[in-house]
A and B are shown apart, each in its own frame.
Chain A
Amino acid sequence: MPVPRRALWTVSLLLLALAACKPSSQDAASQQPVIKIGSAAPLTGEIAHLGKDNENGVRMAIDEINAAGGIKLGDKTYRLEMVGEDDKADPREGTLAAQKLVDEGVIAVVGHLNSGTSIPASRIYAEANVVQVSPSTTRASYTLQGFKTTYRVVANDNQQGSVLADFAANSMKVKRVAIVDDRTPYGQGLADVFESVAKDKGLDVIGREFTTNKANDFNAILTKIRASKPDLVMFAGMDATSAPLARQMRELGLKVPLLSGDGSCDPGFIRIAGDAADALTCSIAGQALEKMSKGEDFSKRYQAKFGSPPQQYSPYSYDATFAIVDAIKRAGKPDRVAVVEAMHGTRFEGLTGHIEFDEHGDLKNGTISMYNVRDGKLNYLSTSN
């Protein structure tokens, strides 16, 4: 044999790799011009389940628009294409993902999921005149950086933190509160607002503990908290962290309610926390899916398309995509600067409610909904403005 086996292997592997790289979207039928919309979310790592949910929302919106014939601008009809990037919920990866999307030529981006990735990425989008609409970034400072390109379709944490503190003081009527946050921009921001409003409302903040968004053992901080005898534990972080925390609270005999924000207020929390989920009271930075007029329909179509129920933010990433498409239509041309100009005039009824932005790019009349968990389901309590 003149050809060594190893070389054959190498060649066949290379061929395989080449085959995998061949663009599959360039079918003969789709010779239409294309507008690219980016989606940036963590597709790997601890909260990949939430990230994929966000991307699915974007994909669903785009597929619907394409199925209805795409976007007609002037005498051309454009097809939409989603460019998904994985930001791994990591600030550095977030800026890399942002740069890739900008280089890919996307006209606007839905994302990112975490405040910790959205904020560093926003400068890159702003410099490239790419509109960024986040479906889930709640840290207040996100839209206050002076960029014309940052928008969000959820309420912010100034609102969420105050509503949570108010709920703890007036509805749950607790006195002694221990606060834990995951030291991400989201967790820290939400916990800070909660702490200051809680103190104003006369609550006794007896401890502030910290963990990380990668931890899964909280026995040490919970033991410390247990010794200070709180009436309530407030946790600011994502479901991947809060659910094991809820379980460990129960194992340690810390039988007090757990209060948390939107990061933990989803079916994922209940699935992971199991029997311990009943301790949770939480808020989401918008309307609940079942309270939206077309929520049930969305839920069914999502389930049929992706084979799993929506998590939390996919309705918002779905609406964020429509907000971008709406701006492109009003701009009349697929041009980044024109879309930035048009974005501010957004005014439409989305799945999640009325979408209109204030001068910073925050959602006007954003709402916060409170929930608790009963019998393994999120149970709607109230909505505040």
Chain B
Amino acid sequence: MDTLLQQLLNGLVLGSLYALIALGYTMVYGVLNLINFAHGDVLMVGALAALSAIGYLHGAWPGLPGWSLLILGILAAIPVCVALSLLIERIAYRPLRHAPRLAPLITAIGVSILIQTFAMLVWGRNYLTFPQLLPEAPMHIGGATLTVTKAVVIVLAALIMAGLLWLVNRTRLGRAMRATAENPRVASLMGVSPDSVIAVTFAIGAALAAVAGVMIESTYSVAHFYMGFIPGLKAFTAAVLGGIGNIAGAMVGGIVLGLIESLGAGYIGDLTGGVFGSNYQDVFAFIVLCGVLILRPSGLLGERVADRA
């Protein structure tokens, strides 16, 4: 029972991290129908920038408490990610906005490789250690353990999702986003500037990537120029699973994926009598993805146009 509870918690933490990243994918996809494969790398740059900023702040004011360093780190990472993301949008995506859909997709992959190499030159190839900023002592919840950082991840993911839903559905900007998503040309006739709406969407996506990057490195305590790739891929899967373009879907998809991976790795060996081991956890997750897409091609919650950001 303790083990099951722990596995559920593990899955929830992992899922919340996926959800944080998936929200960024979904925002951009919702408006542009573009899968921004560089999202994971923007996240990585944010994580490394936050790490540098925290190192500097800690050197300059050694007395700062951990939680304030974490917040300052996130605040430092957001402008870096936003600037980078706007630059990518301007240079790599905007010129291709009316090109066939494959062109921006390939460009996104190219941008991803470019950013990785750039980060490798700036921050080096070595793994960097992210300091433990929040209390390390694990909390005990009915036989399972949870660190403060992980609890923060879960709460933060939920808050951000709620904030985005409010932004998209209840604000003027959100209405402009939905209008642009539905038909950019008509939206521009109504006085909405699609270019600036798209830029704002990219900026929001980038800010989310910054938050996700910092939370990933503080959960796993390591940062590396390659750290964005796998989480990016998993989060993309989560976004598709939940219904890409759908904000609540990204959250649901992320958490479902996290739980499947965690429970899959924990129990698949016992359930199949040792035929499949825990190395099949990814296979298991993708089988579920295939199943969902066959039965519900638009994801668990669907690609609801009215709701998409």
Residues of A with C-beta under 8 A to B230: 214-216
Q: Is the CB of A183 closer than 8 A to any CB of chain B?
A: yes
Tell me the residues in window 173-228 of chain A with beta carbons closer than 8 Å to chain B beta carbons. Answer: 183, 208-212, 214-217, 219-221, 223-224, 226-227
In the bound assembly, the distance between CA atoms of A339 and B127 in angstroms comes to 38
Residues of B with C-beta under 8 A to A45: 226
Q: Is the CB of A32 closer than 8 A to any CB of chain B?
A: no
In the bound assembly, the distance between CA atoms of A226 and B2 in angstroms comes to 10
Residues of A with C-beta under 8 A to B221: 244, 247, 272, 274
Q: Mark A231-253, 1 if CB is under 8 A from B, else 0.
A: 00000000110011001000111
Q: Is the CB of A341 closer than 8 A to any CB of chain B?
A: no
In the bound assembly, the distance between CA atoms of A226 and B143 in angstroms comes to 12
Interchain CB contact under 8 A, B129 and A221: no
Interchain CB contact under 8 A, B278 and A223: no
Residues of A with C-beta under 8 A to B226: 44-46, 48
Q: Is the CB of A305 closer than 8 A to any CB of chain B?
A: no
Interchain CB contact under 8 A, B265 and A183: no
In the bound assembly, the distance between CA atoms of A308 and B126 in angstroms comes to 10
Known contacts A46-B226, A220-B261, A221-B265: does B279 contact A252 (CB below 8 Å)? Answer: no
Chain B minimum-CB-distance residue to A218: B265
Tell me the residues in window 124-159 of chain B with beta carbons closer than 8 Å to chain A beta carbons. Answer: 124-127, 129, 132, 136, 138, 145, 147
Known contacts A49-B125, A219-B10, A220-B265: does B220 contact A208 (CB below 8 Å)? Answer: no
Interchain CB contact under 8 A, A224 and B3: yes
Interface size on B, residues (CB 8 A): 42
Tell me the smallest distance from the CB of B107 to a CB of chain A, in Å: 15
In the bound assembly, the distance between CA atoms of A251 and B127 in angstroms comes to 20
Residues of B with C-beta under 8 A to A374: none
Interchain CB contact under 8 A, A216 and B220: yes
Chain A minimum-CB-distance residue to B125: A48
Tell me the smallest distance from the CB of A252 to a CB of chain B, in Å: 6
Interchain CB contact under 8 A, A252 and B127: no
In the bound assembly, the distance between CA atoms of A93 and B120 in angstroms comes to 19
Residues of B with C-beta under 8 A to A252: 6, 138, 145
Residues of A with C-beta under 8 A to B147: 251
Interchain CB contact under 8 A, B127 and A44: no
Q: Is the CB of B277 closer than 8 A to any CB of chain A?
A: yes
In the bound assembly, the distance between CA atoms of A45 and B147 in angstroms comes to 29
Q: Is the CB of B281 closer than 8 A to any CB of chain A?
A: yes
Interchain CB contact under 8 A, B129 and A48: no
Kindly count the residue-residue contacts between A and B in the assembled complex, taking CB atoms under 8 Å apart.
Answer: 109
In the bound assembly, the distance between CA atoms of A170 and B208 in angstroms comes to 52
Interchain CB contact under 8 A, B278 and A46: no
Q: Is the CB of A301 closer than 8 A to any CB of chain B?
A: no
In the bound assembly, the distance between CA atoms of A227 and B129 in angstroms comes to 29
Q: Is the CB of A268 closer than 8 A to any CB of chain B?
A: yes
Chain A minimum-CB-distance residue to B229: A214
Tell me the smallest distance from the CB of A312 to a CB of chain B, in Å: 13
Interchain CB contact under 8 A, B278 and A221: yes
Interchain CB contact under 8 A, B278 and A211: yes
Q: Is the CB of B307 closer than 8 A to any CB of chain A?
A: no
Interchain CB contact under 8 A, B278 and A251: no
Residues of B with C-beta under 8 A to A244: 220-222
Q: Mark A44-67, 1 if CB is under 8 A from B, else 0.
A: 111011011000000000000000
Residues of B with C-beta under 8 A to A247: 220-221
Chain A minimum-CB-distance residue to B140: A253
Which of A212, A217, A221, A247 has the largest count of B CB atoms less than 10 A from its CB?
A217
Interchain CB contact under 8 A, B282 and A212: yes
In the bound assembly, the distance between CA atoms of A307 and B13 in angstroms comes to 38
Q: Is the CB of B16 closer than 8 A to any CB of chain A?
A: no
In the bound assembly, the distance between CA atoms of A113 and B267 in angstroms comes to 34
Residues of A with C-beta under 8 A to B6: 219, 223, 226, 252
Chain A minimum-CB-distance residue to B282: A212
Known contacts A220-B281, A221-B278: does B116 contact A44 (CB below 8 Å)? Answer: yes
Interchain CB contact under 8 A, A251 and B10: no
Known contacts A45-B226, A216-B230, A244-B220: does B7 contact A223 (CB below 8 Å)? Answer: yes
Interchain CB contact under 8 A, A220 and B220: no
Tell me the smallest distance from the CB of B145 to a CB of chain A, in Å: 6
Q: Is the CB of B224 closer than 8 A to any CB of chain A?
A: yes
B residues with CB within 8 A of A: 2-3, 6-7, 10-11, 13-14, 116-117, 120, 124-127, 129, 132, 136, 138, 145, 147, 220-222, 224-227, 230, 261-267, 269, 277-279, 281-282
Interface pairs (24), CB distance under 8 Å: A44-B125, A48-B225, A49-B124, A49-B127, A51-B125, A183-B279, A209-B278, A211-B279, A217-B220, A219-B6, A220-B7, A220-B10, A220-B265, A223-B3, A224-B266, A239-B127, A240-B224, A244-B221, A247-B220, A252-B138, A253-B145, A268-B127, A274-B129, A274-B221
Across the A-B interface, give the 4 residue pairs with the lowest CB-CB distance, nearest first: A210-B279, A220-B265, A219-B10, A48-B125
Beyond A219-B14, A244-B222, 6 additional pairs, beta carbon < 8 A: A44-B120, A48-B125, A211-B279, A212-B279, A220-B264, A220-B281
